[in-house]
């Protein structure tokens, strides 16, 4: 006879919120632990073993609101399985091979809102009981073997918002199948990854959707045929790299003329006979996503898309910015052209007609420009967000941003910046709030480089080099007196002069991590009340007590990954540290390096007694 010790389960489940929220994930449990408090509201019981759900299984947890039963090897759900859980709103049954759901399986909860039946082996809607689902908002039937969308007449539609049939084997849809959806407004219906071969003409007419997702379905014509006279805010017809699909011809998109659609998503689709005709029925669109579609230009002679606000052309093959034919979209507020696969020539004034453009994203598009950014951005007087990060090389001359003086956010991360100007390149950007110059190799010796940025709140300069490896008292930040966030991580700094940042009265967040600093120079700041100072990954050995005592209010410091000494030379830090542990970030990695005997011990665990001539270390 061998013996097995049964651990009390309250020792095993993790308490996330006392008496309210528990995670018992992957503990090999075969029943709900007795020790969970009756008033538990949130329970993650995923990756355990239940086999069947019966009335007794969950009867104790009367206050349950959220229940995750992902992958519990549940085969059978009997009547009243949730009969004692009146407040249950969410049931997740993902990954259980459900052989049977009793008609009264979901009776009990007054207001079940979210039911997730992803990958549960269901082969028919009729095997899902509708009793108790009257208040359902979300029903997820993703990745099952459902062949027919035949929604029964008593399908719960009252509060329905989200219905997901992704990755089933639905091939045909008739008007009768979805007739009950006429009772719903603003539904999101996901039919992506079904091999849809036929939809009855106008099957979706007179139904009002928020989103209709037919992503990764092979034949767009078939779908648009069924959508005649339908209405949806968003229509998703995109594809993905690992799916073959028929290329889209102008004829195929003609169906859109008879559909009310505001946002159209076509990523990863390919076009055949791509021409002005392709856009013939897109004139009323507000948003168009043509990312990853292999296009190098938009056709000339385009119909005017006067309603279009947002245009996404990411990961395409544009060689010249003028090839997007901006004049056809006069009311655009957003353009995204990220990750262009060819080097993009910004040209001159290509977007000049877009006086309402607010967001422009050119990041990761291999851009090199010898005269940025006045000419390329000519006419963009409304522009607020400009992203030019992760490009090759930009050269700024005088008044580089004089066409876009309303910019609030400018991101130049990891794009090499060359300055060929007498004035500061940003001197027109009086409204700029966020500037990211990290890893831009910008020359910080140029005087007045931050000139004009009197409203700047966030400045990121990570990975740039300062002359003399030192932040001097007399420095460029004085031009940006309203800075609240300043990051100087990985700048190879070895010193900061006293009062270096004293002009930055509003500074709240300072990142100096990954430098070569040997001192924690809190005297560089004007105020140590409510400041966040990150000195992680530097070379600080000792911090005198008087550098710390001024840290008050909600201030937080990070000293992790420094070679801190745990000897009496550093008694000032060690004493203060234990009394101010609430001000420490990442105490797990804030460890001693000296003496060798204590190397790797957490500062928190050190008890040091320092007399005049003896030192005594106690490890708690």
Partner 1 sequence: PSIEWPTHLLCKTDRLEVNYRSCDPLQDLAFSIDTCSSVVPETINIRIATILRYSIRKLSVEVTLGMNGASVPFYSKELCEEDHPEFLYCGKKKGELIYYEGPVSLGFHELPLGDLGVKVELLNQDHHTIICANFTVKSH
Question: Burial level of 63, CB count in 10 A (0-12/13-18/19+)?
Answer: middle
Residue 70 interacts with partner 1 (CB under 8 A): yes or no? yes
Q: How far is the CB of 336 from partner 1 (least distance, A)?
A: 9
Interaction partner, residue 145 (partner 1, Cu ion, its own copies, none; CB < 5-8 Å by kind) = its own copies
Question: Burial level of 461, CB count in 10 A (0-12/13-18/19+)?
Answer: buried
Residue 291 interacts with partner 1 (CB under 8 A): yes or no? yes
Residue 113 interacts with partner 1 (CB under 8 A): yes or no? no
Nearer to partner 1, 313 or 496 (CB): 313
Q: Are 300 and 327 in contact (CB under 8 A)?
A: no
Integer Cα distance of 522 and 173 in angstroms: 68
For residues 480 to 519, the per-residue mask of contacts with partner 1, x marking binding by CB under 8 A and - elsewhere, is ----------------------------------------
Q: How far is the CB of 25 from partner 1 (least distance, A)?
A: 8
- The pair of structure tokens assigned to 323 is 């090839």
Integer Cα distance of 605 and 578 in angstroms: 9
Residue 3 interacts with Cu ion (CB under 5 A): yes or no? yes
Nearer to partner 1, 190 or 450 (CB): 190
Q: How far is the CB of 4 from its own copies (least distance, A)?
A: 5
Sequence-separated (6 or more) residues with CB below 8 Å from residue 74: 50, 51, 52, 53, 93, 96, 97, 98
For residues 43 to 62, the per-residue mask of contacts with partner 1, x marking binding by CB under 8 A and - elsewhere, is ---xx----x-xxx------
- CA 15, 19, 23, 29 torsion-angle sign: positive
Q: Are 276 and 301 in contact (CB under 8 A)?
A: yes
Nearer to Cu ion, 5 or 241 (CB): 5
Q: Which residues pair with 434 in a beta bridge?
A: 409, 458
Integer Cα distance of 131 and 106 in angstroms: 7
For residues 529 to 568, the per-residue mask of contacts with Cu ion, x marking binding by CB under 5 A and - elsewhere, is ----------------------------------------
Sequence-separated (6 or more) residues with CB below 8 Å from residue 611: none
3-state secondary structure of 588: helix
Residue 122's nearest CA partner among 103, 96, 154, 157 is 96
Candidate residues 42, 102, 180, 518; the one interacting with partner 1 per rule CB under 8 A: 102
Residue 615 interacts with partner 1 (CB under 8 A): yes or no? no
Binding to Cu ion, residues 87-106 (CB under 5 A): none
Nearer to its own copies, 119 or 515 (CB): 119
Binding to partner 1, residues 171-210 (CB under 8 A): 193
**Strand ranges, E, within 167-230:** 172-173, 185-190, 198-199, 208-213
Percent of the chain as helix, strand, coil, to the nearest 5: 10, 20, 65
- The pair of structure tokens assigned to 409 is 């956010």
Q: Which stretch binds partner 1 (CB under 8 A): 88-96, 324-332, 422-430, 552-560?
A: 88-96
Residue 113's nearest CA partner among 135, 93, 87 is 135
Q: Which stretch binds Cu ion (CB under 5 A): 1-9, 12-20, 305-313, 460-468?
A: 1-9
- The pair of structure tokens assigned to 29 is 């449990």
- CA 424, 502, 469, 392 torsion-angle sign: negative
Residues that bind its own copies (CB under 8 A): 1-6, 73, 97, 121, 145, 147, 169
Q: How far is the CB of 220 from partner 1 (least distance, A)?
A: 18
Nearer to partner 1, 98 or 606 (CB): 98
Q: How far is the CB of 339 from partner 1 (least distance, A)?
A: 9
Tally of CB atoms within 10 A around 397: 18
Q: Which stretch binds partner 1 (CB under 8 A): 69-77, 523-531, 544-552, 575-583?
A: 69-77
Chain contacts with Cu ion (rule: CB under 5 A): 3
> Which residues make up the interface to partner 1 (CB under 8 A)?
26, 46-47, 52, 54-56, 70-71, 76, 78-80, 92, 94-95, 99-100, 102-104, 118-119, 124, 126-127, 129, 142-143, 193, 216, 238, 240-243, 267-268, 291-292, 314-315
């Amino acid at each position: 006879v061998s013996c097995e010790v049964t651990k009390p389960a309250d020792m095993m489940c993790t308490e996330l919120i006392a008496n309210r929220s528990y995670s018992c994930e992957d503990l090999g449990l075969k029943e709900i632990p007795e020790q969970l408090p009756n008033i538990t509201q949130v329970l993650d019981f995923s990756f355990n073993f239940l086999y069947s759900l019966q009335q007794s299984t969950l009867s104790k947890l009367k206050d349950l609101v959220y229940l995750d039963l992902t992958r519990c090897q549940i085969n059978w759900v009997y009547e009243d399985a949730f009969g004692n859980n009146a407040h249950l709103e969410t049931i997740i049954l993902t990954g259980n091979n459900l052989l049977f759901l009793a008609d009264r399986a979901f009776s009990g909860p007054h207001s079940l809102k979210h039911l997730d039946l992803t990958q549960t082996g269901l082969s028919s809607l009729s095997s899902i009981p509708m009793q108790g689902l009257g208040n359902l908002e979300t029903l997820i039937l993703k990745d099952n073997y459902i062949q027919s969308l035949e929604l029964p007449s008593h399908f719960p539609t009252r509060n329905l918002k989200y219905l997901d049939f992704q990755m089933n084997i639905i091939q045909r849809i008739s008007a009768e199948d979805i007739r009950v959806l006429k009772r719903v407004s603003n539904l999101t219906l996901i039919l992506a990854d079904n091999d849809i071969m036929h939809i009855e003409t106008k099957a979706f007419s007179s139904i009002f959707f928020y989103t209709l997702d037919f992503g990764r379905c092979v034949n767009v014509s078939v779908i648009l045929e069924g959508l005649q006279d339908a209405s949806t805010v968003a229509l998703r017809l995109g594809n993905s790299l690992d799916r073959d699909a028929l290329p889209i011809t102008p004829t195929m998109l003609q169906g859109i003329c008879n559909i009310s659609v505001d946002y159209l998503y076509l990523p990863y689709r390919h076009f055949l006979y791509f021409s002005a005709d392709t856009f013939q029925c897109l004139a009323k669109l507000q948003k168009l996503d043509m990312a990853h579609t292999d296009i190098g230009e938009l056709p000339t002679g385009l119909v005017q898309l006067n309603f279009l606000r947002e245009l996404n052309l990411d990961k395409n093959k544009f060689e010249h910015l003028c090839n997007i034919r901006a004049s056809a979209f006069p009311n655009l507020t957003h353009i995204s052209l990220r990750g262009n696969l060819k080097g993009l020539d910004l040209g001159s004034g290509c977007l000049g007609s877009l006086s309402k453009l607010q967001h422009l994203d050119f990041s990761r598009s291999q851009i090199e420009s010898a005269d940025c950014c006045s000419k390329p951005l000519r006419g963009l007087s409304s522009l607020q967000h400009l992203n030019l990060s992760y490009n090759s090389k930009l050269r700024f001359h005088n008044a580089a941003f004089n066409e876009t003086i309303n910019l609030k956010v400018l991101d130049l991360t990891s794009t090499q910046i060359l300055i060929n100007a007498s004035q500061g390149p940003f001197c027109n950007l009086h409204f700029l709030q966020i500037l990211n110059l990290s890893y831009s190799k910008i020359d910080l010796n140029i005087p007045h480089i931050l000139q004009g940025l009197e409203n700047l709140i966030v400045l990121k300069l990570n990975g740039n080099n300062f002359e003399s490896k030192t932040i001097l008292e007399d420095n460029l930040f004085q031009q940006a007196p309203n800075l609240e966030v300043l990051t100087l991580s990985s700048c190879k700094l070895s010193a900061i002069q006293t009062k270096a940042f004293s002009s930055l009265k509003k500074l709240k967040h300072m990142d100096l991590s990954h430098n070569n600093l040997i001192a924690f120079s809190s005297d560089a700041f004007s105020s140590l009340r409510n400041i966040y100072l990150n000195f992680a990954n530097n070379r600080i050995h000792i911090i005198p007590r008087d550098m710390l005592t001024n840290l008050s209010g909600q201030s937080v410091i990070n000293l992790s990954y420094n070679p801190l000494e745990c000897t009496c030379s550093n008694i000032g830090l060690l004493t203060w540290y234990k009394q101010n542990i609430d001000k420490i970030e990442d105490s797990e990695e804030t460890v001693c390096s000296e003496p060798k005997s204590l190397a790797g011990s957490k500062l928190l665990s050190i008890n040091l007694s320092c007399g005049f001539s003896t030192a005594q270390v106690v490890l708690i």
